[in-house]
Amino acid sequence: MLFQAFMSKLISKVRLMTAQLTDSRLLLMNEIISGMRVIKMYAWEQSFAELVATFRKNEVHRLQMACFLKAINLSVYLVASRIILFACFITYVLTGNLLTAKAVFVTMTLINTLRITMLGQLREVFETGAELLVSCRRIQTFLELEEMDVKAINASNVRLNTSGKQTPELSVNNISAKWSEDSPYPTLQNISVYLRPGDLLAVIGPVGAGK
């Protein structure tokens, strides 16, 4: 029982890591599909294919680990009753008692009944509970995210009414950005832009520079 609880905890951790890797892969695929024209324009298919393959390889590795842990848990469940029977009979004989067919069959019936009703059900409860706990945590994390202002997203074509007192402008001051949070250094660093109506800005640079 304690072993099953321990294995279920390990399965829960592996399941959470697998779900996070799946989310990362799906996010990457969504970005690839959204920018497919740019990827084909710059012939980046092979680079992104290798990136997706790396994500998928890590995901499959976690899935294999979860299946391996479940197989160990199931094996212990199937073997435990035999080990218990053997230990009971050895202890019974070593204490000076005579092992009879009646004692053997009664003990086997009781142990098998306990195995099916308790060990089997507990194993399923622990494994299902671990999956449920991971799902509830992911749902809770999603529901606790900050609300997104939909109007701010859909207001890209809104005309600005300045009444002639103000001039529309675009200003960016010392901005830094990188492709991912894991990058050791930013791709863009200390970028400043100030544009007024009628200004022309050209962004140049090598491939992958962050244009």
Work out the average pLDDT over 176-180. 77
Q: What is the dihedral of CA 144, 61, 66, 129, to 10 degrees?
A: 10
pLDDT per residue over 72-114, tens digit each?
Answer: 877 877 787 788 888 888 888 888 888 888 888 888 888 887 7
- Give the separation between CA 188 and CA 178, rounded to whole angstroms: 6
Work out the average pLDDT over 143-150. 75
Is the pLDDT confidence value at 152 over 70?
no
- Give the separation between CA 210 and CA 121, rounded to whole angstroms: 55
Output the CA–CA distances (angstroms, integers) from residue 120 to 8, 45, 95, 126, 210, in the order listed: 13, 49, 31, 10, 56
Q: What pLDDT shows up at residue 158?
A: 54
Q: Map out the domains of the chain as residue ranges.
A: 2-143
Q: What pLDDT shows up at residue 25?
A: 86
Give 162's pLDDT tier (boundaries 50, 70, 90): low
**Contact by Cβ (8 Å): 120, 77:** yes
**Contact by Cβ (8 Å): 9, 32:** no
Q: What percent of the chain has pLDDT over 70?
A: 84
Query: What token pair was written down for 206?
Result: 């090598």
